[in-house]
Amino acid sequence: MDGLLRHAAWRRGVHPDAGLLLLDATAPDTERRFDCIYSNKVLHHLTRDEVRASLEAQAGLLNTAGLAMHSFWWGDKADEEMEGLRFVYYTKESLAAIVAGTGFETVELERYSEMEADDSLLILLRKLES
């Protein structure tokens, strides 16, 4: 995967040694601290319990008032598995319930259109003061 990160950095005009990290979304293990953590349609492959654990870990990696922004597929249907990948769908209410108690406050939680009308959710979180 290191090669993938180097290629992605090069394609975006970022020096390959700029400090991109490959972290496990369920248990990010690093001593570094961040102002912001972002993912686009990554966390929806985790179980709801894994998403909660990931958010708790992310809060621990963020500087004071740090932000986390993630996107998910919207839906109130049952979880699916396609080609060995789990897809978990969320409504505003179900995602807000997972965020509760993770060390974040929700700044914004909105539906948006990616492939179809209103098929996605975007959540912007701010780390709570300790």
Instruction: Give the model's pLDDT for residue 130.
Output: 72
Domain count, the chain: 1
Within a domain: residue 34?
A: yes
Within a domain: residue 1?
A: no
Average pLDDT over residues 83-96: 96
104: containing domain: 30-127
CA distances from 101 to 6, 12, 65, 104, 105 (A): 36, 36, 16, 7, 9
Within a domain: residue 105?
A: yes
Within a domain: residue 5?
A: no
CA angle at residue 24 from 22 to 26, to 5 degrees? 155
pTM score: 0.84
3 state DSSP class of 60 = helix
Within a domain: residue 13?
A: no
At 102-111, the pLDDT tens digits run: 999 999 999 9
At 23-57, the pLDDT tens digits run: 888 888 889 899 999 999 999 999 999 999 999 99
Q: Is the dihedral of CA 7, 25, 33, 121 positive or negative?
A: positive
Within a domain: residue 25?
A: no
CATH number at residue 35: 3.40.50.150
Using the predicted structure, report yes or no on whether residue 1 has a pLDDT greater than 50. Answer: no
Q: What does the alpha-carbon distance between residue 86 and residue 25 come to, in Å, rounded to a whole number?
A: 14
Exposed e or buried b for every residue in 77-113, given b needs 16+ CB within 10 A?
Answer: eeeeeeeeeebbbbeeebbeebbeebbbeeeebeeee
- Total residues found in the chain within this entry: 130
Least Cα distance to 75 among 31, 44, 29, 39 occurs for: 44
Within a domain: residue 101?
A: yes
